Structure 1
């Protein structure tokens, strides 16, 4: 079982034959550091699975860039609104490192239901997982302090602190680089 199949199997109850069929629709691609998977106002025509590397999803606002997320190995990447509803992407997704991805085209994604009888159920679970993740992030932003958000990210993804420019992590956590630096210093002295 490859990494993509392992990830799908861990997230969803999929029969072995269906898992192999789903996996067969994906193809490997490489992205060099700095390359885009999709750009703001462009279209997200592929759904990707990160095998290796890091990608930053960000929005270009009039006065600053805001990092929405840093995708790590094991995550799916897409602008859902663009991919599913043919709308321009509201963000950009750019490789922070060289990346290896498994991708499926929008056309193949739409055709999976023809060869996988349980696809509608799997797709609903996938969308529900996406919305649950988004809901959890929104709840963290409105209910947690900056220190709590920092601590949560540190506990879940320590390796990012050595691999991603800290201003991106600060932006992703909704704080200034100065606040991020103060918290980093404070929490390092406690450890």
Structure 2
């Protein structure tokens, strides 16, 4: 994937951004059978012009079967995604909106330059107005 995409779920009329990803990465939705029966529809949205390559499930399984080294690649990708998920879980548990924004600025400043602020605010579990106020405050501190 080359571009910027976000994953989200819908809660009535509201969209809840669950992740944001910028280029050179693998993204997707898990449609595999889960051990629980609660259904949640997941969506992916391109946030800017984005180029993708689709790998069907059968192709992925064929690669694993025919190229054992793909298991190593897969394990490395899984580890990378686990680390990103761990960071996301940590960030959303920070007690204040300012701490969440500061953490995003420290770990993924490129997101702030590419992604619309309404999606960033949603991702950080804050209102758009809160993000605008905090950005102004942090910019003022910098200068």
TM exceeding 0.5: yes
Aligned counterpart in structure 2 of residue 148 of structure 1, from 83, 89, 99: 99
Counterpart position of 1:129: 80
**Distance of aligned partners of 1:98 and 1:86 in 2 relative to their CA distance in 1, 3 Å threshold:** farther
Structure with the higher strand share, 1 or 2:
1
**Distance of aligned partners of 1:128 and 1:89 in 2 relative to their CA distance in 1, 3 Å threshold:** farther
RMSD: 2.2
Counterpart position of 2:138: 187
Matched, 1:64 2:17: no
Gapped runs of 5+ residues in structure 2?
none
**SS at 1:99 equivalent:** coil
Equivalent residues of 2:8, 2:17 under 8 A apart: yes
Distance 1:159 1:124 in 2: 26
Q: Deviations over 1:20-74 (max 9, x none)?
A: xxxxxxxxxxxxxxxxxxxxxxxxxxxxxx12x2112111112521112222112
Counterpart position of 2:44: 93
| TM-score between both structures, scaled by the size of structure 1 | 0.63
| TM-score between both structures, scaled by the size of structure 2 | 0.81
- Kindly report structure 1 stretches of 4+ aligned residues shifted beyond 4 Å: 86-89
Gapped runs of 5+ residues in structure 1?
1-49
**Distance of aligned partners of 1:134 and 1:162 in 2 relative to their CA distance in 1, 3 Å threshold:** closer
Counterpart position of 1:46: none
**Distance of aligned partners of 1:120 and 1:163 in 2 relative to their CA distance in 1, 3 Å threshold:** closer
Counterpart position of 1:167: 118
